[in-house]
Amino acid sequence: MLNRVKLHFLALSVFGESSRHLATVLLSVLVIFILSSVLFISSSIKYTVTTALENEADMTVQRVRGGMLAQVPLSWEKDIVNIRGIDSVSPRVWGRYFTKPKGKSFLIIGVDFLDSNANKALSKIVGSTDLKKFLNAHNMLVSAKVKSWMKKRFYTDSYSFLSADGEFIKMNIYATLPKNSDLLSNDVIIMPIDDARKILGIKEGYVTDFVLNVPNDAQKVFIEDKLSSLHFDIRVVSKKESLAAYDESFNFRNGFFLTLFMILLATFSLILYQRYTQSYSTQKRQIGIYRALGWSIKDILTLKFYEIVVIILGSYVTGVGLAYIFVYIANAPVLRDIFLGSGNFSPDVVLIPVIDFSALSSIFLLYAIPFVASVLIPVWKIAVSDPKEAML
Amino acid sequence: MNPILLNTQVQIYLFGESILYIFMIMAFIISLHILLKWDFDSFSDEQYRLERRSYLVITILLFVFAVKFMLLPYFVFTIDSLNTLVPGAMCAAGVISANSYGLELLFVKLFVVFILSWWLMINYYDLQAKNYPFFKIKYGLYIAVFVLITLELWLDFAYFGNIDIHQPVSCCSALFGQLEGANPLPFGLDTKTMLILFYSIFVTLAILILTKQDITALIFSGLFLYISYYSVVYFFGTYVYELPTHKCPFCMFQKEYHYIGYLIWGSLFGGVFLTADSILCKKVLNVDTSKSKIYGLLLITVFVFTVSAVVLIYRFQNGTWL
Amino acid sequence: MSPIVEIEGLKRFYNTPAERVEVLKGINLSIERGETLILKGVSGSGKTTLLSIIAGLDRPSEGKVLVEGEAIAKLPDNHLSHFRGRHIGMVFQHYNLIEHFSVKDNVSVPLVPMNLRYQKVGQRVEDAMKKANISHKSDMLAARLSGGEKQRCTIARAIVTNPEIVICDEPTANLDRENAIKFLDILKNLHNMGKTIIIATHDSIFESLNFSHTVVYMSDGEIEKSESIE
């Protein structure tokens, strides 16, 4: 296949004629860079969301009335616990609070500090916060984004919420939630369950929903069926469904990018095709000389093949490397906003390096196939150059 | 739009397949031309032009083969990753059974790779001779390949376009598990007999290849593929998953199992294909292919060693059989 | 021993839409092993086309061409190319060096498809450069050589595969008199090595060739006469 003599000639034709390849390589690196940046950002976000969801409960039980979510009576808890195979059922009180009818919104989560399950989860988040002290007054924990939003509006240490009954409830900002990479918590406010009830208008004896776990994977479908038949207005959402919903939304964004990228790719292919077709006239003679000196069409094609492989792999590694630096070290300025949106408290996310086989192989295929496809015919034309060229 | 078709990997996969198909059409037209106009004894410019064009067909088919070769694992990988979108699916097994096209597509795919590799082998021997002796077989076979690839492309779109993400599918445990005590193995075999068969067919096959009993070796390589499939799914696979009830040909492609499925299935199909290609070339073209037959046998041996090693490593680490 | 080149009824024509242009109109020629043959004729007489066909660079339209007993007209490309590489050394009128390669790399071009070991290639290249008296410039880029040096580099490239036949197309056309005379010395060396040499030229300097050779006169696609000179 490739002995040292041929390697030497490969090096001559790749590096000896680097001016011929320079533009191609630069263009390729740019294309790969854009493509991999987009895919890196999206797989990183996807990873963050998925891991966040992994930590969520397996199923959520809601109540639907007239097609809208309704408050769930606490009395359902008994029915749910009675089903075998269900583990750790906990009621949740949460909801959205809009600062103005069309303004920003917070996600208010009420925490029952007597519930040990919830406590454990919370102590993970708040860490050092002294819970007892926190509970003694109308205190809340807010995310860093929410805090800075409030500060801009001169609510430096408390905020007055307009409750569902039309009363103002003043909550003290007790502490800031630790800044982590969790995308889902950028607009979160955590407060004691009673205050949350008042602000969100959830009656005593009712909750927003229940979450529960099913330890045995094989039973999930079965338990979902059983839960669904408990009440006529019950709705069960499984973790898998929410994962699928997120997946779908990412696919949509990726699909959008891919469509844009296809246009870029088509341009890239056309330029490549043209470059290689033009290089025919300059290479015709050299290849003719090779042919006259005993190189067969196959020998030329082999040389050209390796030449292309070197260019493809070289640009691939460079492009992906640059994208890695751009996304995970420089944190993808500009591009990130397109993905995360800057609407409601755009999350201040640090992109976690996720290098998966999926993104890498996708990038490679999406770049290498059109590359080879656009140069294949020009290269064949060069390879069959007439050895008579050498006599002219 | 069907959300499956919006999946990045599905789009890239279909995009790749479509580009290949455009080249296949080009190669098809040139092949027809060659079949109709070829006259090796002629001194005409037309004939020399055809000889140069035949290199374009070869280049295209090498390109197609290389990309198909890469797209095969990518395809498996893609449908595996779709399991989050399809309710009920835990791995590729569920996704591929999401509609009736899935399995057909997989079979056609494997067959295309097999025929394409055979074509490349015929081409190799055609170029070695001084008068293109096999051009008729070569280009005739290409027409068949083209028909197959047309079918494959249609199945590609039919399959991905018809995955209903609201229709729950079964997961692999339901597809391959022993439901109601029924024995899923062929010919009423039990696991022990199956394993004896597996190893004895392998040894027989090796002997047949080494002693050049071509036709029998061909039959045995088919038999070996068949018995290997069942052995991997119902025995060796359970050691990969370290769970006696987990029976699935696809889960082993996942990261949790270090992607070992690619090695296992790759070496099995690669080895059997190479062996069968060599024997077919020997019989049809009457050329010496003993070297590539040995390579095929080597790949099959890699397969047998890999699956055996999985079991032995488990035995060694846990001190017990499953 | 059979002749190394045997040509019978060789015709070469090009079909243009308007007419058929005949460049070679039925050539019969046979060249013995070790013979030196000089093709003479004005430009357009078909010398270059005849050389191209013998070298397997061009295909005949009709007739039989045997080189080393091989019917090269109908060889598939890969066989023809390798045949050319092994049996024929070419010295072109315009040298045809790859300008951005060093002398050494230029000389090794014909050896690349032969799958030889690296050391062996180096040795053969070294050898050929010594014979052609160009070793001292082995690492210089071809573009920076003088005319005579380029010629010697081309000769080194032509003999690096140790071919039986060396074909030269107008080898002295771009040389000054001094270098042309040096070239004749090299030819003599090749002749003494037992090579079959075929030269197309209209340079009168070959009349001073001091070893036995055959002169073939061509005009208008046909062989007019041939004479042996002792």
Give the pLDDT confidence of A316-368 residue by residue, as tens digits.
Answer: 999 999 999 998 888 777 777 776 655 555 555 667 787 777 788 888 999 99
Residues of chain C positioned with their CB less than 8 A from the CB of A17: 100
Together in a domain, A301 and A340: yes
Q: What is the mean pLDDT of chain A?
A: 81
**Is the residue at A97 inside a domain?**
yes
Q: Which amino acid is at C192?
A: N
Chosen domain end from A168, A191, A213? A213
Chain B CB contacts of C75 under 8 Å are: 130
Would you place residue A214 in the very low, low, confident or very high pLDDT band (cuts 50, 70, 90)? confident
B40/C contact by beta carbon, under 8 A: yes
Q: Which residues pair with A389 in a beta bridge?
A: none
Q: A136 with A63, same domain?
A: yes
- Domain membership of residue A169 (yes or no) is yes
Q: Do A380 and B88 touch (CB under 8 A)?
A: no
**End-of-domain residue from the set A163, A190, A213:** A213
Q: C46: helix, coil or strand? A: coil
Contact A212, A86 (CB under 8 A): yes
Q: Dihedral through CA B27, CA B30, CA B34, CA B35, nearest 10?
A: 70
Residue B126 has pLDDT above 50, yes or no: yes
Instruction: Nearest chain B residue to A219 by CA: give it.
Output: B88
Asked if residue A227 belongs to a domain, the reply is no
A117 vs B67: which has the higher pLDDT: B67
Note whether A70 and A40 are same-domain residues: no
End-to-end CA distance of chain A: 32
Which pLDDT score is estimated for A101?
A: 65
Is the domain of A204 the same as that of A255?
no
C78-119 pLDDT, tens digit each: 899 999 989 999 998 888 898 889 999 999 999 999 888 889
Determine which of A197-211, A243-257, C127-141 has the lowest per-residue pLDDT on average.
Answer: A243-257
CA distance B48 to B36: 15
Q: Is the dihedral of CA A303, A308, A313, A314 positive or negative?
A: positive
Those residues whose C-beta lies under 8 Å from the C-beta of residue B205, and which sit 6 or more positions away, are B217, B220, B221, B224, B297, B300
Q: How far apart are CA A296 and CA C163, in angstroms?
A: 17
Q: Show Cβ contacts of residue A66 under 8 Å, excluding neighbours closer than 6 positions.
A: none
What DSSP state is assigned to residue B235?
A: I
Look at C111 and A5 and tell me if their CB atoms are within 8 Å: yes
Please tell me whether residues A202 and A87 are part of one structural domain: yes
Q: How confident is the model at residue A315 (pLDDT cuts 50, 70, 90)?
A: very high
Give yes or no: residues A48 and A97 share one domain: no
Residues of B in contact with A254 (CB under 8 A): 6-8
Is residue A237 assigned to a domain? no
List the one residue out of B89, B104, B95, B99 whose CA is nearest residue B76. Answer: B95
Query: In terms of Cα–Cα distance, which of C69, C74, C43, C46 is closest to C59?
Result: C74
Sequence length of chain C is 230
Between CA C73 and CA A255 the distance in angstroms is 56
Cα separation, C189 vs C159, whole angstroms? 12
- Alpha helices, DSSP H, located in chain C: 47-54, 77-87, 103-108, 118-131, 147-159, 177-192
| Chain C residues in contact with B133 (beta carbon < 8 A) | none
Residue A231 lies in a domain: no
User: Are C76 and B51 in contact (CB < 8 Å)?
Assistant: yes
What ranges make up the beta strands (E) of B133-244? none
C14 CB-near residues (< 8 Å, 6+ apart): C20, C21, C23
Both A287 and A152 in one domain: the answer is no
* Residues A67 and A202 both lie in one domain: yes
Terminal alpha carbon distance of chain B: 46
ipTM score = 0.91
List the subunits that have 3+ CB pairs under 8 angstroms with B: A, C
Q: What percent of chain C has pLDDT over 90?
A: 21
C-alpha distance from residue A235 to each of A121, A266, B123 (Å): 25, 47, 62
Tokens 């854009």 -> residue: A34
**Domain shared by A18 and A64, yes or no:** no
CA distance A137 to chain B (A): 44
Q: Residue B321: which of B201, B195, B202, B187 has the closest Cα?
A: B195
Q: Is C117 in contact with A3 (Cβ distance < 8 A)?
A: yes
Each residue of C171-199: pLDDT tens digit?
Answer: 888 888 888 888 888 888 889 888 999 99
Using CB atoms, pick whichever of B3, B12, B22 lies closest to residue A365.
Answer: B12
Measure B32 CA to nearest chain C CA, in Å: 20
Residue ranges making up the domain that contains A134: 59-213
Specify the pairing of strand A72-73 against strand A68-70: unpaired
Residue of B nearest to A372 (CA): B63
Size of interface A-B (CB pairs under 8 A): 85
B127/C76 CB distance under 8 A? yes
The answer to whether residues A19 and A67 belong to one domain is no
**What is the pLDDT, as a whole number, of residue A181?**
45
Residue C119 in contact with partner chain A when CB distance is under 8 A:
no
B52 to A377: CB separation less than 8 angstroms, yes or no: no
Q: Do residues B35 and B140 touch, judged by C-beta distance below 8 A? A: yes
Asked whether the beta carbons of residue A244 and residue B87 sit closer than 8 angstroms, the reply is yes
CA distance C52 to chain B (A): 16
Taking CB atoms and an 8 Å limit, are B6 and A243 in contact across chains?
A: no
pLDDT digits (tens, 9 = 90+) for A277-292: 888 877 888 888 899 9
Segment C9-18 mean pLDDT: 86
Contacts of C62 in chain B (CB under 8 A): 43
Q: Give the single-character DSSP code of A353.
A: P
Residue in chain C closest to B52 (alpha carbons) equals C77
In this complex, do C74 and B131 lie within 8 Å of one another by their Cβ atoms? yes
Q: Would residue A139 count as lying in a domain? A: yes
Nearest by CB to residue B130, choosing from C15, C59, C75, is C75
Q: What single letter denotes the amino acid at residue A258?
A: L
What's the whole-number mean pLDDT along residues B307-321? Answer: 89
Distance CA C128, CA C137 (A): 13
Cα nearest neighbour of C121 on chain A: A5
Chain A residues with CB under 8 Å of C14 CB are none
Q: Are residues A37 and A158 in the same domain?
A: no
Find the closest chain C residue to A4 by CA distance: C118
Q: How confident is the model at residue B254 (pLDDT cuts 50, 70, 90)?
A: confident
Q: How many domains does chain A have?
A: 2
Any domain includes A228: no
How far is B230 from chain A, CA to nearest CA, in Å?
A: 24
The model's pLDDT over B173-225, given as tens digits with 9 standing for 90+, comes to 677 765 545 667 777 778 888 999 999 999 999 999 999 888 899 999 999 99
Q: Which of B16, B52, A128 is nearest to C78 (CA)?
A: B52
The 8-class DSSP code of residue C141 comes to B
A83 and A187 both lie in a single domain: yes
pLDDT of A310 above 90:
yes
How many C-beta neighbours within 10 Å does residue A359 have? 23
